[in-house]
Amino acid sequence: MTYHTTLDRAVAAAAAAAGGYGAWSAERRRDLLHACADALEAARPELVDLAWAETALTRERLDGEITRTTGQLRLYGDHVAAGRHLSGRTSPGAAPGGADVYTVDVPLGPVAVFAASNFPFAFGVPGGDTASALAAGCPVVVKGHPAQLRLSRRIAEVLSGAVAGAGAPEGTFGFLDAESTDGDPNKLSIDLVRHPVIKAVGFTGSFGGGRALMDAAAARPEPIPVYAEMGSVNPVFVLPGAVADEAGREKWATALATAVTGSGGQLCTKPGVVFVPETDDGETLADLAASRIGGAGPIPMLTAGMAAAHRRWSEQNQARGASGQEADPRDGLPFAVRISAKDFTGDYREEHFGPATVFVQADPADYPALADSLEGQLTATIIADDASDADRSAARALLPSLVAKAGRVVWNGVPTGVAVVEAMQHGGPWPATSAAWSTSVGTEAIRRFTRPVALQGVPADLVG
């Protein structure tokens, strides 16, 4: 069977399911999402083993990620069952002739979802895009990730069983194996987005991949939205008061090193650029953090290709601060680069996937201008001494620039670790994402896959 046949069957089934599943009550959708969470929970030991074998992420990290994913499924189900995803706008008697106007939110239709590699559960086959589309009443067609073939297939089997057991129409959950590409790994993705049945796209990955999907979606006879999360450097701005004593320097050196090396630095929220004061205290912080980053030793990365790309970036920066021993083909060697603000140009401003970061020594008075010079970001962080009037004044001057550039601003923390809560915004201005107003984490993610319809004078009892 060619991949064209597989693709056509999956999207045809999704199209056939759209009307029936879209008419389901929110309570039935909640029950389906809870059933998916329960099925993943039951398969937890097997799924952790498969994920560990294919990703080299730690079992503890993967186990925690399953907990996050099942919690996300249940949260979204409960959210829609409570009607909290609905806009609920009403204008009684406001239309000509005194007719009432009120809005209802309807599902867009079949959604194409692309599983990410760095979060095999939370952003993979059962991740936030799948969960939010199903919560919105949309069938999904999920393309597995080529780096996790066995895991993707097994998760798809688990979810397919749960969706069928919940009584959903056939085609409510569809899966496309990343291996069925006829030798071209990108063609299946583009053809899926171009298929006229698909009404929206959820994607987490590289800028190049996201842009290719956006271009394909825009070139369709009927253009469709692509919600692409494509990463960023997630700048951290360290203010002088936070590192004015040894305890502060030790605390933040450890926190930053852990954020850079955790999960092999393969997180879209990894702090890729850290601005430190061009003072002795700032230099000491950078020295401590760089030493702890380099001391982490080689870290297995998701794929040999990603490790090779990381190695090339390291070699390009050897003369500018990177050093270390040879690593195995799949390992990434952690390192930190130290530069001055005048050298903060070129690839230092671009996202680097792997356990590395760039420390930029700068005058804190220049932080707002440096922030203004950045592209759109998923996150931006301020590290400050809460009790320092000088730090608070500097933060007040810096915050407008960070709010303009980032989807989430963190105070005295690190940007890694995104809480799955109602108020979370995991998105940001271009090129961090394709839609700065949207989020791929938190209950607001559901709105991406619905559209409002205004009903004027229509009797409410006629609306299901």
DSSP-derived letter for residue 433 is B
Q: What does the pLDDT average to over 88-103?
A: 94
Beta-bridge partners for 203: 114, 228
Coil, helix or strand at residue 140: strand
Instruction: Find out whether 132 and 163 touch, Cβ atoms under 8 Å.
Output: no
Q: What is the pLDDT of residue 183?
A: 60
Q: What is the pLDDT of residue 122?
A: 97
Q: Domains (ranges, CATH) in the chain?
A: 3-230+433-462 (3.40.605.10), 236-411 (3.40.309.10)
Q: What is the pLDDT of residue 58?
A: 95
How far is C-alpha 189 from the geometric centre of its chain's CA atoms? 18
Model confidence over 253-270: pLDDT tens digits? 999 999 999 999 999 999
State the pLDDT confidence band at 285, using cuts at 50, 70 and 90.
very high
Judged against a pLDDT cut of 70, whether residue 181 lies above it is answered with no
Q: What is the pLDDT of residue 211?
A: 97
State the pLDDT confidence band at 327, using cuts at 50, 70 and 90.
low
Structure tokens at 286: 């950078």
Q: What is the pLDDT of residue 323?
A: 54
Q: What is the pLDDT of residue 231?
A: 87
Of 125-134, 252-261, 454-463, the one with minimum mean pLDDT is 454-463
Judged against a pLDDT cut of 70, whether residue 26 lies above it is answered with yes
Q: What is the pLDDT of residue 325?
A: 60
Judged against a pLDDT cut of 70, whether residue 73 lies above it is answered with yes
Exposed e or buried b per residue across 344-377, where buried means at least 16 C-beta atoms within 10 angstroms of its C-beta: beeebeebbbbbbbbbbbbebeebbebbeebebb
Q: What is the pLDDT of residue 2?
A: 61
Model confidence over 197-246: pLDDT tens digits? 999 999 999 999 999 999 999 999 999 999 999 989 999 999 999 999 99
Q: What is the pLDDT of residue 51?
A: 98
Judged against a pLDDT cut of 70, whether residue 321 lies above it is answered with no
Q: What is the pLDDT of residue 328?
A: 80
Q: What is the pLDDT of residue 186?
A: 85
Share of the chain above pLDDT 90, in %: 90
Q: What is the pLDDT of residue 417?
A: 86
| C-alpha to C-alpha distance for 360 and 278, rounded to whole angstroms | 9
Residue with more model confidence, 181 or 53: 53
The single-letter code of the amino acid at 338 is R
Residues serving a catalytic function are 229, 268
Q: What does the pLDDT average to over 363-381?
A: 98
Judged against a pLDDT cut of 60, whether residue 318 lies above it is answered with yes
Q: What does the pLDDT average to over 388-416?
A: 98
Q: What is the pLDDT of residue 178?
A: 82
Q: What does the pLDDT average to over 113-135?
A: 97
Residue among 354, 349, 411, 353 nearest 382 (CA): 411
Q: Name residues whose C-beta falls within 8 Å of residue 391's C-beta, 6 or more positions apart in sequence.
A: 239, 240, 241, 242, 384, 385
Q: What does the pLDDT average to over 284-311?
A: 94
Q: What does the pLDDT average to over 279-288?
A: 97
Q: List, as one string, the DSSP characters of 201-246.
A: EEEES-HHHHHHHHHHHHTSSS---EEEE------EEE-GGGGSSH
State the pLDDT confidence band at 427, using cuts at 50, 70 and 90.
very high
Share of the chain above pLDDT 70, in %: 96
Q: Name residues whose C-beta falls within 8 Å of residue 289's C-beta, 6 or more positions apart in sequence.
A: 252, 253, 256, 257, 260, 274, 336, 359
pTM for this one? 0.95
| C-alpha to C-alpha distance for 167 and 188, rounded to whole angstroms | 29
Beta-bridge partners for 337: 358
Structure tokens at 161: 């069983």
| C-alpha to C-alpha distance for 127 and 230, rounded to whole angstroms | 16
| C-alpha to C-alpha distance for 424 and 442, rounded to whole angstroms | 5
